[in-house]
Amino acid sequence: MKPKKTISDIDVKGRHVLMRVDFNVPLDAGRITDDRRIVMALESIRSVIDRGGRLVLMSHLGRPKGEPRPEFSLRPVAEHLETLLERPVAFAEDCIGGVADAKVIDMKDGDVLLLENVRFHKGEDLIDKVKKSGATEPTPQQRDSIDGLTELLAKHGEVYCNNAFGTCHREHVSMYNVPLAIRPGPCVVGHLVEKELRFLGGALANPSRPFVAILGGAKVSDKIGVIENLLPKVDSILIGGAMAYTFLASQGNDIGKSLCERDRLDLAKSLLQKANGKIRLPSDSICAAELAEGVNTKTCDSTIPADLMGLDIGPKTIADYAAVLANAKTIIWNGPMGVFETPPFDKGTLAVANALAKATQLGATTIIGGGDSAAAVEAAGLASKMTHISTGGGASLEFLEGRPFETLEILDDA
């Protein structure tokens, strides 16, 4: 992908900047429990308002399924953003219509306005739903919803800024149709998206070597595209999580009650053959009869007894993987090594997190691919020790698969 213009390249003084952000943050009784996505957007937000722009923010939150639902309101986010910015943040009770229009018109230079959840309107994610249904075109009624929402959102801005990497893999109205409607006005990326493209794109296009990928999670099927795209680029792929047992089973190993995609054994075997030694599998596992906190565990080699299941990588694997990572110059990590939410099966994931922190100190570029890996690094208190933590779980995964992001392709090239 060609480099994109950023919001810093645009003169925003006196202009309405419509910025798509990803404020899809976890809430507990209206209280934000993790504000990382909001904090990561602050650089671009301040860039606009400090230079006299009139900033209109739009985002989704949760899955309200096209209708207003109070538990998915962005009002708590507006209040929290006001605290972070130490200046007023106005809130519009809808993202379109008379109330939103009036608040946009009343804005002055340096003002901030957050619109209500764009997913309160059915048109927002209809394009994705149409594609998933197998249809080639929306119905006339669906097209009316899409076009109507596009027109009403686009009128809020003279400049469009995509600062929502977590939804860049979704061709939603606020991500795709709105920037097309705002043209020929500038359509650019924010600093958060620019940073994601620089680190993820740079790692794939021109990595310092050795280049190591760490892949975990439950299913080989979830990571097929990533493995196939990375194999020609990396020097090693370290496998953990439940997906490792599908690979081990494909080699004829007994894996007991471990999770396994039996219908993917031929695929796993084929990937190992293609890898020509680049894929490394666990040499031992922490096993138990059931998944429960504080349960009795046993360390097993590649053969696991019939009454046990593998739930984490073992000490030999930890040492092996740590040795590989100590020599790496570029590392991408996507997916935990075990069921890290349930001690004692968090040791492998924490060990990998610590190994990455040490690699960063030694000069390696360490990139955490969002989702559970990011959560694990945060929980371990090691977030500041990594080079880059992606804000996009699904988006990071699809980027690593090499899929094109049309939501970014349509924006202005640098």
Per residue in 336-365, pLDDT tens? 999 999 999 999 999 999 999 999 999 999
Q: What's the whole-number mean pLDDT along residues 2-30?
A: 95
* pLDDT at residue 294 in the model: 86
Burial group, residue 99, by CB count within 10 angstroms (0-12, 13-18, 19+):
middle
Given a cut of 80, whether residue 293 has pLDDT beyond it is: yes
**Both 291 and 339 in a single domain?**
yes
CATH number (domain holding residue 329): 3.40.50.1260
Same domain, 23 and 130: yes
Classify residue 412: in a domain, yes or no. Answer: no
DSSP for 9-28, please give it.
GS--TT-EEEEEE-----EE
Give the global pTM: 0.90
Same domain for 171 and 238, yes or no, is no
Q: Is 141 within 8 Å of 120 (Cβ atoms)? A: no
* Domain count across the chain: 2
371 is catalytic: yes
Higher-confidence position of 220 and 58: 58
% of the chain at pLDDT higher than 70? 100
| Chain segment 76-114, per-residue pLDDT in tens | 999 999 999 999 999 999 999 999 999 999 999 999 999
Q: Is residue 199 one of the residues assigned to a domain?
A: no
Let me know whether 120 and 24 are in one domain.
Answer: yes
Note the pLDDT of residue 349.
96
Q: Which of 166, 338, 371, 392 is catalytic?
A: 371
Active-site residue (options: 69, 219, 257, 358): 219
Question: Which one of 134, 164, 194 terminates a domain?
Answer: 194
Q: Are residues 233 and 265 in the same domain?
A: yes
Q: Which H, E and C letters describe 54-120, residue by residue?
A: EEEEECCCCCCCCCCCHHHCCHHHHHHHHHHHCCCCEEECCCCCHHHHHHHHCCCCCCEEEECCHHH
Q: Indicate whether 132 pLDDT > 90.
A: no
Give the active site residue among 52, 202, 225, 394: 394
Position with higher pLDDT, 84 vs 222: 84
314 is a catalytic site residue: no
Mean pLDDT for all residues in the chain: 95
Final residue of a structural domain among 194, 226, 254: 194
Residue of 20, 37, 223, 347 marked catalytic: 37
Domain containing residue 150: 7-194
Pairing relationship of beta strands 330-334 and 31-32 according to DSSP bridges = unpaired
Residue pair 216/335 in contact (Cβ under 8 Å)? The answer is: yes
Residues 266, 246 contacting (CB under 8 angstroms) = no
Gap between the Cα atoms of 179 and 152, Å rounded: 12
pLDDT, position 266: 95
Residue at a domain's end among 163, 194, 225: 194
What Cα–Cα distance (Å) separates residue 143 from each residue in 106, 134, 147, 156, 177?
31, 16, 6, 21, 12
Verify that 268 and 182 share a domain, yes or no: no
Binning pLDDT at 50, 70 and 90, where does residue 414 land?
very high
